[in-house]
Every structure is written in structure tokens, then in C-alpha cells.
């Protein structure tokens, strides 16, 4: 599979360009239509889009400036910094997805229509800051991992900065590095996947329950245009959660010790999985929240 990264380069460039456009437009659409009356959900979408853009920008710089430049060598701290920044955006995007799913599930399950904790903009800012702080903390140990590998390792490259974030191969895998890898997967992948799955099931149950209670007399529009917009937004959140579940389930399968996949293909597959959610999710949220409309496009 030595030629696989080259074969996937065109697809990767297309996904990155689509993600760049989608996330930038989502930020601009919220800025033009919501400020200064921005709400909690808008803050979470801004945080998600900003994390996505950071991941796209840093990973593209990592890929183009170093991994593809075989004549250049990357210093140890430069490699560690790029790994930290690229993984930071990915993890922050995951945590903001969890925050969005929990927020929408609480709103939908609030039968009395009373304000919830995250309705407050101040609380939303604190929750967003907690996502950023946690993403920073869980990625800091990468600075203690030695990025240099023995010559000929499939995970490496001519720059000396390997694709594998955890720098762990069968012949060289320190105990602490292995422990960090599995703790990272537990906190940043498995637990978020479980939370998104549970909240997604709860949201779906509420939506199906409300649909079964709609009578012909009500016509299904008892809440007016505002309720219709909220319903579309909820369906969009549910669709994004489904995409999240598929993508990160595939990622966890690739991380299984029994997975018979070589390191070079695994690293490229992990990048494509991360990028696909990063690049598709802003379109799902934008269309469902009525932010990606012709009117907003003209304003932007």
C-alpha cells in the first residue's frame, strides 16, 4: 500500500476544500444573522466550526509542508507541536459535538419549556471553555512522546515525523505511551461516542413520541414556524450525530489490536475519517438550522 497516500491525495484535497468552505460559511452565517443576539446553540456551532477550521489548517500544513516534503527534516519540537495542534482541533470538535447533542436532548425533553442551565449565554461560554480546556489537557502528553522512529518503520516518513499520533509500533512501544493511547481513546473517542449514542436514542424517542401524538386536526404545526425551525434543527442535530457515530465507530475499529491493517493505510484512513466529519458536519448543521440559505448566502 505504499502508493495509497498518493492515490488518496486528490480525495483529501477535495474534502479539505469542502470543509474549509462549509466551516467558514457557517461562521459567517451566524455572524451575519445572529450577532449581537447570539444564543447558546449558536455559540456551540461557532466553537465546532472554529475547531474544525483549526484542524483543517494545521493538518494541511502538517501534510503539505512536512509529510510531502521529503527533502526537509522536522525538528522534534516542531513535530510535537504540529501533532498537538492537529489533534487538538479534532478532539475539540468531538467535545463540541457532545455538548450540542446534550444541549438539544435537554431542550427537547424539557416538557415544561423552562430554561435549562445551558440556555444562559454565560453558562454556554463556560461549557465551551471547558471543551477547549479539556481538549488541551488530554493532548499535552504528546510533548513527552519521542517522535523519532527506527529507520524503515512503516509509520514514519522522510521527515522523521511519523503519521501515527501515538508513536507506537510493535517493536517500540513504551508502557506509558501505550497507556496514554488507550486512555486517550477512552476519554476522547469511546466515551463521547457512548454519550452521543445515548442522547441520539433519547432524541429519536422524543421525536417519534411527538409524531405519534399529532392529530389530523393539529396538522402537525401546532408550534408554528418557530416550532418547525426547531424541529428541522433537531433533525439536523440527529443526522450529524448519526454521522458522528458511523465515523468514530470506524475509527475505533481501526484502533483494535486485532485489526489487520498496516500502519501506513491506518494513518491515512484515520485522517479521512476525521476530515469527513469535520467537513460534512457544518453543512448538516447549517442546512438544518436554516443558516445555509440563499438569503444568508447573499448577505455573506
Q: Which residue has the cell 509509520?
A: 155
Q: What is the pLDDT of residue 233?
A: 82
Region 245-251: mean pLDDT is 89
Determine the Cα–Cα distance for residues 278 and 57; give it in Å rounded to an integer. Answer: 12
Q: What is the pLDDT of residue 112?
A: 56
Determine the Cα–Cα distance for residues 199 and 1; give it in Å rounded to an integer. Answer: 39
Q: What is the pLDDT of residue 109?
A: 82
CATH of 4-211+231-299 given 3.20.20.70, 3.30.1280.10, 1.10.150.120, 1.20.1070.10 = 1.20.1070.10
Mean residue pLDDT of the chain comes to 77
- Cell, residue 274: 476525521
Determine the Cα–Cα distance for residues 173 and 182; give it in Å rounded to an integer. Answer: 13
Output the CA–CA distances (angstroms, integers) from residue 5 to 9, 20, 63, 85, in the order listed. 6, 21, 11, 22
Q: What is the pLDDT of residue 8?
A: 62
Is the per-residue pLDDT at 58 higher than 60?
A: yes
Determine the Cα–Cα distance for residues 55 and 67; give it in Å rounded to an integer. Answer: 16
Q: What is the pLDDT of residue 274?
A: 78
**Domain edges within the chain:** 4-211+231-299
- Phi first, then psi, for residue 79 (nearest 5°) are -65, -45
Confidence of residue 50 (pLDDT cuts 50, 70, 90): very high
Q: Lowest-pLDDT range, 80-89, 151-160, 289-298?
A: 151-160
Confidence of residue 234 (pLDDT cuts 50, 70, 90): confident
Q: What is the pLDDT of residue 213?
A: 65
CB atoms within 10 A of CB 116: 14
DSSP 8-state class, residue 292: S
Q: Tens digits of per-residue pLDDT, 112-137?
A: 577 888 888 899 999 999 999 999 99
Q: Tens digits of per-residue pLDDT, 13-28?
A: 788 888 899 999 999 8
Of 219 and 90, the one with more pLDDT: 90
Compute the 3-state secondary structure of the chain and give helix, strand, coil in percent, each to the nearest 5. 75, 0, 25
8 A C-beta contact, residue 96 and residue 47: yes
Report the percentage of the chain scoring pLDDT > 70.
Answer: 68
DSSP codes of every residue in 71-138:
T----HHHHHHHHHHHHHHHHHHHHHHHHHHHHHHHHHH-TT-PPPGGGSHHHHHHHHHHHHHHHHHH
Q: What is the pLDDT of residue 44?
A: 93
Q: Which residues contact 152 (CB under 8 A, 6 or more apart)?
A: none
Single out the residue of 208, 221, 222, 231 nearest to residue 289, CA to CA.
231
Single out the residue of 202, 248, 214, 226 nearest to residue 103, CA to CA.
202
Q: Please work out, in degrees rounded to the nearest 5, the angle formed at the alpha carbon of residue 298 by the alpha carbons of 297 and 300.
A: 65
Region 233-242: mean pLDDT is 88
Is the per-residue pLDDT at 153 higher than 50?
A: no
Q: Please work out, in degrees rounded to the nearest 5, the angle formed at the alpha carbon of residue 259 by the alpha carbons of 244 and 182.
A: 65
Q: Tens digits of per-residue pLDDT, 93-114?
A: 999 999 999 999 998 887 657 7
Region 20-42: mean pLDDT is 85
Region 250-264: mean pLDDT is 67
Q: Which residues contact 193 (CB under 8 A, 6 or more apart)?
A: 244, 245, 248, 249, 252
Determine the Cα–Cα distance for residues 93 and 186; give it in Å rounded to an integer. Answer: 16
- Indicate the pTM of the whole model: 0.84
Q: What is the pLDDT of residue 152?
A: 44
Question: Which residue spans within 32-71 are E strands per DSSP?
Answer: none
Of 59 and 262, the one with more pLDDT: 59
Of 78 and 226, the one with more pLDDT: 78
8 A C-beta contact, residue 167 and residue 176: no
Q: What is the pLDDT of residue 164?
A: 62
Amino acid at each position: 500500500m505504499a502508493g495509497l497516500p498518493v492515490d488518496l491525495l486528490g480525495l483529501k484535497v477535495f474534502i479539505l476544500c469542502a470543509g474549509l468552505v462549509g466551516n467558514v460559511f457557517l461562521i459567517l452565517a451566524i455572524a451575519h444573522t445572529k450577532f449581537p443576539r447570539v444564543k447558546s446553540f449558536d455559540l456551540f456551532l461557532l466553537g465546532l466550526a472554529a475547531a474544525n477550521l483549526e484542524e483543517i489548517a494545521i493538518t494541511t500544513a502538517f501534510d503539505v509542508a512536512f509529510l510531502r516534503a521529503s527533502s526537509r527534516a522536522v525538528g522534534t519540537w516542531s513535530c510535537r507541536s504540529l501533532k498537538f495542534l492537529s489533534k487538538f482541533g479534532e478532539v475539540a470538535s468531538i467535545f463540541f459535538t457532545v455538548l450540542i447533542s446534550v444541549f438539544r436532548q435537554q431542550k427537547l425533553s424539557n416538557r415544561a419549556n423552562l430554561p435549562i442551565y445551558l440556555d444562559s449565554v454565560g453558562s454556554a461560554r463556560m461549557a465551551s471553555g471547558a471543551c477547549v480546556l479539556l481538549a488541551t489537557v488530554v493532548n499535552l502528553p504528546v510533548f513527552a512522546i519521542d517522535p523519532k522512529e527506527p529507520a524503515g518503520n512503516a509509520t514514519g516518513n522522510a521527515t522523521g515525523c511519523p503519521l501515527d499520533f501515538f508513536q507506537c509500533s510493535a517493536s517500540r512501544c513504551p508502557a506509558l505511551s501505550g497507556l496514554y493511547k488507550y486512555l486517550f481513546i477512552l476519554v476522547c473517542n469511546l466515551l463521547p461516542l457512548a454519550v452521543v449514542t445515548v442522547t441520539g436514542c433519547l432524541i429519536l424517542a422524543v421525536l417519534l413520541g411527538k409524531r405519534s401524538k399529532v392529530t389530523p386536526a393539529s396538522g402537525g404545526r401546532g408550534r408554528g414556524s418557530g416550532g418547525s425551525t426547531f424541529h428541522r434543527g433537531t433533525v439536523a442535530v440527529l443526522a450529524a450525530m448519526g454521522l458522528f457515530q458511523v465515523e468514530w465507530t470506524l475509527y475505533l475499529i481501526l484502533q483494535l489490536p486485532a485489526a489487520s491493517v498496516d500502519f501506513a493505510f491506518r494513518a491515512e484512513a484515520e485522517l479521512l475519517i476525521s476530515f469527513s466529519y469535520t467537513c460534512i458536519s457544518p453543512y448538516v448543521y447549517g442546512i438544518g438550522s436554516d443558516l445555509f440559505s440563499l438569503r444568508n448566502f447573499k448577505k455573506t
